[in-house]
Amino acid sequence: MGRQRNDILQGTLALLVLRTLAVHGRLHGYAITSHIQTASQDLLRVEEGSLYPALHRMEQDGWVKAEWGTTDKNRQARLYSLTPAGRRQLAQEQESWARLTLGVGRVLRFA
Amino acid sequence: MAWYHRLRNLMRGDALSRDLEREMQFHIAERAEELMGQGMTEREALREARRRFGNVQQQKESTRDADVVVWLESLVADVRYALRALRHSPAFTAVAVLSLALGIGANTAIFSLINAVMLKSLPVPHAEELVSVVRFQGSARDPGSAGAEFTNPLWEQIRDHQDAVDAFAYGQASFNLATGGEARRVDGSWVSGSYFPVLGARPLAGRLLTRGDDDRGCPAVAVVSAGFATREYGASEGALGRSLSLDGHPFVIVGVTEPSFFGVDVGSRVQVYAPICARAIMQGGAGILDGRSTWWLQLMGRPRNHYGADQVNARLAAASPSINAATLPADWPVKFQAPYLRSTLGTEPASTGYSDLRDRSRTALFALMAVVGVVLLIACANVAHLLLARAAARQREMALRQALGAGRGRLIRQLLTESLLLALAGSALGALFARWASGVVVGLLSTPHTQIWLDLGIDFRVLVFTIGIAVLTGILFGLVPAWRASRAAPQTALQAQGRAATSGPGRFAITRGLVVGQVALSLVLLVAAGLLLRSFQRMVTIDPGFRRDGVLLVSMDAANTGYSKDQIGSTFRDMLDRLRALPGVRSAGASLVTPISGMGWNGDIEASGFVPKSERDGVVWFNGVSAGYFATLETRLIAGRDFGPQDVKGGSPVGIINESLARKLFGAANPIGKVFRTRNGRGVSPPTEVIGVVQDAKYRRLNDDNVATAYLPLTQTDPFGSSLNFALRTDGDPQALVPAVRALAGGVNAAISLDFTTLSEQVAASLARPRLLATLSAFFGALALLLATVGLYGTVAYSVSRRQSEIGIRIALGADGSRVVRMIMGEVGRLLTAGAVLGALIAVAATRLLQSFLYGLTATDPTTIALAVASLALVGLVAGAVPAWRAARHDPLEALRQE
C-alpha cells in the first residue's frame, strides 16, 4: 500500500495519475493535469504544487518511468509512462478505492 | 527498484535540480499558452501561469526533500524499533553481543598485530619511496639468494661510487651503559651520517647526526630516543650535552629523536644511535671498520632523480663489478673469491622497514588469523541460531505487520538493522578487548633479553577492518533469519495452530546444518590446539643432555680493563678457581658458547675414513670448554676423560666429542685415541686426538636434530674477543649467587662487565614462541568448544521445546522417560557424528599448514585427532543430555495443555 499519508487526496492523486497514464500511454506533467481536469469535467483540479513531488515519488517507487522527449510542438518535455509495477499498483489502488467508496457509502446510507 | 532510484538521486544532486527546473518551466509555458489562447496577453498569461503554479523553488525543494527525509525517517524508525526489541530481551542481547565481541575482538587483535608487524609504513615522510639495498649471488636476481649484510668497506664504496640510491647504513648493537659490574644493556644502532637525513627524521631536541659526523676519526657523539632521555634524565632537553658510557667508552649526547621514531627495524626500539666512524674507538673497532669479512651493516635508501625500480637496479648492477673488486677480501680462498666478484647489488621495496621479527612471525600470524576467523564463524553461527529461534517466536508479529501493509523488503531491512546493531555493539566491545589482548600477546612474546616493541595504536586500517568485519558478520548471521522470518505467508501464521503448522522439518534443516558446521569447525581448532600443545609439551620434556635447573650463567667481558689477550686469559683462569671456591657453588665451568643461547660456532671436520654425505654433513658444532664444564652441566662422560691440567696451551691438541659425532666419524669403533682435523679459512688444524666421549646435548636450539659437537679445551682455542661464559651449579636458587659473583669480579677488576641469567631462563626463552602458540591455540580451541557447546545446547533445547506436545503424548501413551531421552540423544549423536566426520576431514587437510611449528609430531597425528574427537563427543553429549533429561521429566499434561 505504500507510505501512509494523512492526506487522502495525495493517495487519490497517485491513483488518478496512474489511470491517466494507463489510458494515454506517455504524457508530460502538464498534459496529465489537463486530462484529469477534463475527464472529471472540471470537478477535480490538481494542486500544481503537489503534482511534481508526487510524480517524483511515484518514479522513486518504480511505478512510472520518465524520459526526456520532444512534444509535437517541438519542445523538450519530460514524458511519463507506466511500468509493469505501476500497472499492478493501479489495479491495487482501484480495488482499495472501490472498497473505500462502498464502505463510506454504506455508512452514509445507514439510517 | 525504489532504493536504487533513491541512491541514484542522492548522487545526482545538481543535475536533478536542473531537470526539475526545466520540467516546471515547461509546465508553466504550456499553461501560459493555454491562457493566451483564452485571450490574455503573453505577459499576463505568464504571470497568471506562474501564480497558479506556485512557488517553484519551494516545490523543487519539497521534491528533493521528500527523498532524503523519507529515507532518513525510515532509517531512524528502524533503529529505534530495533533498539526497543533488543532491550526487551536482555539475555539474548547479552549473549549475542558477548559472542560477537569475543569473535570480532580476537580478529581485530590479530589483525592489529599483523598491521603493526607487516603493513605499517615507517613513521617517516614518504616511506613508500624507501628501498633496501641487497646483494644477490651472481647476476640472476633470485630473491632467495639476496643477502642483506654488508661490510664497512662495501658500504663506503656504495656510498661514494654509485648515483642510483641515496643510501644509508645501520648496524644492530647492544650497548652496555654500565662501566663495570653488572651490565645494563640497551638496544642501539650504529648509523651512517646519511641515516637521519635520508629518512627525513627530525629532532625533538638538539640535533641529529649528519653526514659531517661520519668521517674517520670523528668525535664520539650520540643521539638518544625520547623515551630513553625521559627515563634517564627526566626531560628530553636534560639529555643534551650529557655523557653516556657505551661499552665503557664515553659519548656525548647531541640530540633526541621524536617519540614516534623507533629506527627501521619493526619490533624493536632503538634507544641510542652512534655514528659508524665512532666504532673505531671501541674494542677491535678499527679492524671492524676495515674488515672485508665482517658483515654487520644493512643498507637502505631512497632512489635518486625519481628513478624507477628498474633503472635503479640496472645502475646498481652496472656499478657492482668495480665495487666488488675494490673490496675483495684478499685472504679468502680462490673458491670463494669468484662468487664474491660475481654478486650484484639490487634493491627491494622497504617502506615497512626491515624486520627480523616479521620474517620469523609471518607464518604464525597468518595461522592465528585463520584460527580467529574460524572462531568468529562459530560465534556468528551461534548468533544466527539465536536469531532464528527469535524469528520463529515472532512469526505472528511479522505476519501481522505484513497484513497491515509492510513490504517484505521493509521487514528484511528492519531485521537486518537489528543484526547490524548487535554486530556494531559487539565490535565496539570487541575493539576494547582487542586493545588489551594484542598487548598481552606482545608481552608474552618478549623475553627479558629480547624485548619486543610494537606500535599497536589503532590506525585507519584497523578501524576499517573492524567496521568491515562488523558489517559483514551482521549481514552474515542476520540475512538468513530475516529472510525466513519475512517469508511466512500472513494468513497461515495468523491461524491459531500457526506454530505447529510452520515448525516443519524444513526449519530444522538450517539450524541442524549450522550446528554440524560449528561442531566441525570446533573440532578443527581442537585438533590444532592439541597438536601445538603436545608439540610444546614434547619440547619442554626433551632431554637436552644437561640438567637445566640450578645453574647460574655469567658472561664476563674484560673489554674495558685494558688487559692484553694473555692477561685476560690468565684472569679468567684465575676467576674460575675463585668461583669454584664460593660458598654454595657445587661445581663450575667455563665455555665459549652456552647451551640454547642462539649463538654458535661451527666448522668443517675431517677424519680418515670419514666421507661426508654432503657438504653440510661435514659441518659440525664446536665449543671451547674448561675442565669441569661437563660436570657442572651434568652432561655424562661416557668414555675416556675430561680435560685436565695436562691439556695446556701449545701442548698436544686434544678434543672431546659427543656420541653423534663419534658415530658419524668412526662408526661403531672406539673413538678414543683416534684423530680428527678441523678446517677453517686459514687451512687445516693439526691432528686432534679424541680423549673422551660425552652424551649428546642440544646446542643452539631445543629442537635441533643434528647435534654432532666437538669440544676443544679453552686453553687451546682462540677466545671470542674479550668475553667468556661461566656456569655455576648450586643446590639452591642460582640467583642467590649473584651478589657474591658480583663482589668477586669487582674485586678482581671493577671494569669487568657482567651479564647474569640462569640456564633454565635461557632455555625457557627459546621456547617463548612455541609456548605462545600453544597457549593461544588452547585458548581459542576452548573458546570454540564453548561456543559450539552453547550452540548445540540451544538447538537441542529449542527442538525439544518445539516438540513438547509430541513428547507429552508419547509419555502419556506409556513411553518411559528413558525412551524419550534416547530418542533425543540419538538426534544429538547424529549431529555430533556428522560434525566430527566433517571436522576430521577438514582438520586433516588444514593442519598440514602447521607442520613447521610441530616437533615430534606429524600434522595428522592420529592420537591427537582421537583425543580431540573424544573431548568434543564428551562435551557435546553432556550438552545435549541436559535438555533431553529435562524434557523427559516434564509433566505430560502440562505439555499437552500448551496447545
Domains of chain A by range and CATH?
A: 8-105 (1.10.10.10)
Q: How confident is the model at residue B682 (pLDDT cuts 50, 70, 90)?
A: low
ipTM over 0.85? The verdict is no
Q: Is the pLDDT of residue B261 over 70?
A: yes
| B380 vs B466: CA distance, rounded Å | 15
CA torsion through residues B4, B7, B11, B17, sign? positive
User: Can you give the pLDDT at residue B140?
Assistant: 58
Contacts B62 to A, Cβ<8 Å: 53
pLDDT at B620 over 70: yes
- Over residues A41-85, the pLDDT tens digits come to 888 878 777 788 888 888 888 899 988 888 877 888 889 999 998
- CA-nearest of B770, B803, B761, B795 to B887 is B803
What local confidence, expressed as pLDDT, does residue B275 receive?
A: 94
Higher-scoring residue by pLDDT: B719, B22: B22
B405: closest chain A residue by CA? A1
Strands of the sheet with A27-28, listed across from one edge: A27-28, A76-82, A64-70
Asked whether residue B213 carries a pLDDT value surpassing 80, the answer given is yes
Average pLDDT, integer, range B501-516:
64
Bridge partners of residue B606, in order along the sequence: B677
CA angle B841, B843, B844 (to 5 degrees): 70
Position B892 scores a pLDDT of: 61
Give yes or no for residue B499 having a pLDDT over 60.
no
Residue B608 has pLDDT above 50, yes or no: yes
Residue B545 contacts by C-beta under 8 Å, 6 or more apart in sequence? B635, B658, B695, B696, B697, B698, B707
Residues B398/B67, Cβ–Cβ less than 8 Å:
no
The larger pLDDT score, comparing residue B104 to residue B385, is at: B104
Inform me whether the pLDDT recorded for B776 exceeds 80: yes
Residue type, A93: E
What pLDDT was estimated at residue B656? Answer: 94
Look at residues B174, B169, B181 and name the one whose alpha carbon lies nearest to residue B211.
Answer: B169
Show the 3-state SS of B826-852. Answer: HHHHHHHHHHHHHHHHHHHHHHHHHHH
Residue B717 has pLDDT above 60, yes or no: yes
Asked if pLDDT for residue A5 goes beyond 60, the answer is: no
Higher confidence at residue B659 or residue B562?
Answer: B659
Those residues with Cβ within 8 angstroms of residue B680's Cβ, 6 or more apart along the chain or in another chain: B603, B604
Q: Amino acid letter at B358?
A: R
Interface test with A, best of B1, B21, B27, B72 (most A CBs within 10 A): B27
- For the CA atoms of A43, A45, A50, A52, the dihedral, rounded to the nearest 10 degrees, stands at 120
Place B333 in a pLDDT band, splitting at 50, 70 and 90.
Answer: confident
- Identify residue B544 by its one-letter amino acid code: P
Across chain B, what does the average pLDDT equal? 84
The backbone torsions φ and ψ at residue A3, rounded to the nearest 5 degrees and listed phi first, read: -70, 145
The angle subtended at Cα B322 by Cα B319 and Cα B327, nearest 5°, is 120
Q: Indicate the Cα dihedral angle B405, B410, B416, B420, nearest 10°.
A: -120
Give chain A positions within 8 Å (CB) of B59: 49, 52-53
Mean pLDDT calculated for residue range B786-805? 77
Cβ–Cβ under 8 Å, residues B272 and B125: no
pLDDT at B209: 92
Q: What is the pLDDT of residue B690?
A: 93
The torsion of the CA quartet B93, B99, B100, B103, rounded to 10 degrees, works out to 180
Kindly state the average pLDDT of the residues B22-38. Answer: 87
Distance CA(B339)–CA(B443), nearest Å, equals 43
Q: How confident is the model at residue B141 (pLDDT cuts 50, 70, 90)?
A: low
Give the containing element (helix H, strand E) for B860: none
B714 DSSP assignment: G
What's the average model confidence in pLDDT over B23-29?
A: 86
Spell out which residues of chain A touch residue B6, defining contact as CB-CB under 8 Å.
Answer: 60
Residue B168: beta bridge partners? B300
Does residue B492 carry a pLDDT above 70? no
Among B174-183, B399-408, B777-786, the minimum mean pLDDT is found in B399-408
Best residue of A4, A56, A74 to probe chain B, by most B CBs closer than 10 Å: A56
Count contacts between A and B (CB, < 8 Å). 59
Are the Cβ atoms of A78 and B23 closer than 8 angstroms?
Answer: yes
Per-residue pLDDT at B245 = 92
C-alpha cell at B407: 513490504
Burial call B352-380: b when 16+ CB within 10 Å, e when fewer: bbbbebbeebeebbebbbbbbbbbbbbbb
Q: Which of B291-295, B497-501, B599-603 has the lowest mean pLDDT?
A: B497-501
What is residue B4's predicted lDDT score, i.e. its pLDDT?
Answer: 63
pLDDT digits (tens, 9 = 90+) for B336-367: 788 888 888 888 888 888 777 888 788 888 88
CB contact under 8 Å between B26 and A61, yes or no, is no
Does the pTM surpass 0.80? The reply is no
**Closest-CA distance of chain B to residue A8, Å:** 17
pLDDT tens per residue across span B748-757: 998 898 999 9
B59-68, B330-339, B346-355, B707-716: which range is least confident on average?
B59-68
Give residue B190's pLDDT band: very low, low, confident or very high (50, 70, 90): very high
Pick the residue of B3, B8, B16, B30 with the most A CBs within 10 A to test the interface with A by mutation: B30
Q: What confidence score (pLDDT) does residue B72 get?
A: 78
List residues in chain A touching B: CB distance below 8 A.
1-4, 28-31, 48-49, 52-53, 56-57, 59-62, 75-78
**Is the CB of B59 less than 8 angstroms away from the CB of A57?**
no
User: Three-class SS of residue B610?
Assistant: coil
Q: What's the first-to-final CA gap in chain B, in angstroms? A: 43
Q: Which of B2, B22, B26 sits opposite A61 (nearest CB)?
A: B2
Q: What is the average per-residue pLDDT within B866-878?
A: 89
Which H or E element spans position B135? Answer: strand B131-136
Q: Name the minimum distance, in Å, from the CA of A61 to any CA of chain B.
A: 5
Q: B585: which strand partners?
A: B730
Contact B67 A1 (CB under 8 A): no
Which residues on chain A are in Cβ contact (under 8 Å) with B55?
49
Across B306-315, B587-596, B828-837, the highest mean pLDDT is recorded for B587-596
pLDDT in tens, B731-745: 989 999 999 999 999
Residue B65's pLDDT is what?
Answer: 65
In the predicted model, what is the mean pLDDT of residues B184-189? Answer: 91
pLDDT at B693: 95
Give the residue-averaged pLDDT of B422-427.
Answer: 88
User: What is the C-alpha separation between B639 and B587, in angstroms, rounded?
Assistant: 21
Residue B847 cell numbers, joined: 593442519
Residue B328 to residues A44, A60, B139, B313, Cα–Cα distance (Å): 102, 78, 17, 22
Decide if A30 and B2 are in contact by the 8 Å CB cutoff. Answer: no
At residue B397, φ and ψ (nearest 5 deg) are -60, -45
Instruction: Name the band, by pLDDT with cuts 50, 70 and 90, for residue B191.
Output: very high
Share of chain B above pLDDT 70, in %: 91
Put simply, whether B70 touches A (Cβ < 8 Å) is yes
Question: A64 near A80, Cβ under 8 Å?
Answer: yes
Shortest CA distance to B796 belongs to which of B880, B865, B853?
Answer: B880
Cell readout for B592 is 665459549
Answer whether residue A7 shows pLDDT above 50: no
pLDDT of residue B406: 66
Find the CB nearest A52 among B5, B29, B59.
B59
User: Which H or E run contains B464?
Assistant: helix B460-485
User: In the numeric block, which cell numbers belong to residue B825?
Assistant: 540423544
Q: So what's the pLDDT on residue B897?
A: 61
Which residues on adjacent β-strands are paired with residue B349? Answer: B131
Confidence bin at B167 (pLDDT 50/70/90): very high
Cell of B876: 557435546
Task: Count how many Cα atoms sit within 13 Å of the Cα of residue B181 in the half-sphere of its side chain.
Answer: 8
Which range among A34-43, B471-480, B887-896 shows the weakest confidence by mean pLDDT?
Answer: B887-896
Which residue, chain included where needed, has cell 688487559?
A: B563
| Closest residue in chain A to residue B31, using alpha carbons only | A30
Which of A1, A49, A75 is facing B59, going by the closest CB pair? A49
Domain definitions of chain B by residue range: 2-78, 127-351, 361-540+768-897, 551-765
Is residue B102 over pLDDT 80? yes
CB-based contacts of B383, cutoff 8 Å, min separation 6: B96, B99, B100, B419, B422, B477
Residues of chain B neighbouring A53 (CB-CB closer than 8 A): 59, 62-63, 66
Q: Could you write out the DSSP letters of every residue in B232-290? A: HHSSSGGGTT-EEEETTEEEEEEEEE-TT---SSTB----EEEEGGGGGGSTTHHHHHH
Cα separations in angstroms, B690 against B4, B657, B749 = 87, 7, 37
- Give the span between the Cα atoms of B774 and B780, in whole angstroms: 10
Is there a contact between A62 and B26 if contact means CB atoms under 8 Å apart? no
Instruction: Record the cell numbers describing residue B632, joined without a space.
Output: 657442572
Choice between B560 and B630, residue whose per-residue pLDDT is larger: B630
Dihedral of the CA atoms B105, B110, B115, B116 (nearest 10)?
A: 110
Q: Tell which residue, A13, A1, A33, A26, has the closest CA to residue A82.
A: A26
Q: Strand B688-694 vs strand B675-680: parallel, antiparallel, or unpaired?
A: antiparallel
Burial of B168 (0-12, 13-18, 19+ CB in 10 A): buried
In sequence order, what are the residues at sequence separation of 6 or more whose Cβ sits closer than 8 angstroms to the Cβ of residue B659?
B638, B693, B694, B695, B696
Taking the C-alpha atoms of residue A67 and residue A59, their distance in angstroms, rounded to an integer, is 11
pLDDT of residue B67: 66
C-alpha span between B755 and B747 (Å, rounded): 16
Instruction: Name which of A1, A48, A57 is nearest B54 (Cβ-Cβ).
Output: A48
Q: Residue B663 in contact with residue B510, Cβ under 8 Å?
A: no
Q: What is the pLDDT of residues A10-40, one digit of tens each?
A: 568 889 999 999 998 889 888 898 898 888 8
In this predicted structure, the answer to whether residue A3 has a pLDDT above a threshold of 60 is: no
* Structure confidence by residue, pLDDT tens digits, B110-133: 888 888 888 888 888 888 899 999
- pLDDT for residue B640 is more than 90: yes
pLDDT band at B585 (very low <50, low <70, confident <90, very high): very high
- Rounded to the nearest 5°, which phi and psi values hold at B198? -70, -40
A30: nearest CA partner in chain B? B27
Q: Is B31 on the interface with A (CB under 8 A)?
A: yes
pLDDT of residue A2: 39
Cell numbers placing B652? 698436544
CA distances from B894 to B411, B427, B797, B809, B814 (A): 35, 42, 17, 11, 16
**Does B586 score more than 90 pLDDT?**
yes
Are the beta carbons of B27 and A1 separated by less than 8 Å? no
Count of helices and strands (H, E) across chain A: 4, 3
